[in-house]
Structure 1
Amino acid sequence: MKLSVSTLGLPGVGLDGAIEVATKHGCQGLELRLHPDTGVHVGLSADERAEVRRKVEAANLEISALAGYVRVCEPGDDAEKIEALTQELRLAGDLGAPGVRVFPRGDDPAVGARRLKAVAGTARELGVRVLVETHDLMATGQAVAGLLEAAGEPDTTGALWDLLHPWRHDESPARTLEALAPYLAYVQVKDAVSAHDTTPVPMGSGSVPLDECGELLRAAGYDGWVSLEWERTWYPHVAPVDEILPGAAAWVSRYAPKETA
Structure 2
Amino acid sequence: MVCGAVPPMGRSGKARMRLSLAAYSFRDQFKDAAVMDFPKFIDYCAEQGCDGAELTSYYFPQDVSDEMLLAVRRHAFLRGVSVTGTAVGNSFALPEGPELEEEKAQVKRWIDRAAVLGAPHIRVFAGSAKGIDEAGARRQVIKALEEVGDYAASKGVWLGVENHGGVVATPEGLLEIVKAVQSRAVGINLDTGNFHGADPYEELARCAPWAVNVQVKVEVRRAGAKAAEPADLKRVAGILRSSGYQGWVVLEYESKEDPFVAVPEHLKALREALA
Shared topology, TM-score over 0.5? yes
The alignment status of 1:52 with 2:72, answered yes or no, reads: yes
Match among 83, 101, 117 for residue 63 of structure 1: 83
* Structure 1 partner of 2:193: 164
Higher alpha-carbon deviation: 188-197 or 93-102 = 188-197
- Partner of 1:170: helix, strand, or coil? coil
In structure 2, relative to structure 1, the CA distance for the partners of 1:125 and 1:193 (3 Å cut) is closer
> Of 168, 172, 178, which aligns to 2:206?
178
1:188 matched to 2:215:
yes
Which has the higher mean CA deviation after the structures are superposed, 14-23 or 186-195? Answer: 186-195
> Aligned pair 1:86/2:108, yes or no?
yes
Following superposition, the deviation at residue 243 of structure 1 comes to 3.0
Letter in 2 for 1:71: S
Runs of 5+ consecutive residues of structure 1 not aligned to the other structure: 200-205, 257-261
Give the aligned residue type for 1:134.
N
Quick check: 1:21 aligned with 2:21? Answer: no
Alignment of 1:224-243 (within 5 A): 224-231=247-254, 235=256, 238-243=257-262
Matched ranges for 1:1-261 at <5 A: 1-10=17-26, 11-12=29-30, 13-35=36-58, 38=59, 40-41=60-61, 43-75=63-95, 77=97, 78-106=100-128, 108-137=137-166, 138-153=168-183, 155-166=184-195, 168-181=196-209, 183-192=210-219, 194-195=221-222, 206-231=229-254, 235=256, 238-256=257-275
Confirm or deny: 8 A CA contact 1:70 1:103 kept in the other structure: yes
The aligned counterpart of 1:203 is none
How far did residue 76 of structure 1 move? 5.7
Structure 2: stretches of 5+ with no match in the other structure: 1-16, 31-35, 129-133
Give aligned pairs, total.
Answer: 240
Structure 2 distance, partners of 1:141, 1:225, is 21
> Secondary structure at 2:246's aligned position in 1?
coil
The Cα RMSD (Å) is 2.3
- Contact kept in structure 1, 2:233 and 2:273, CA below 8 Å: no
Identity rate, percent? 23
Deviations 1:68-113 (A, max 9, x none): 1112334563311211110111111110101111122225321111
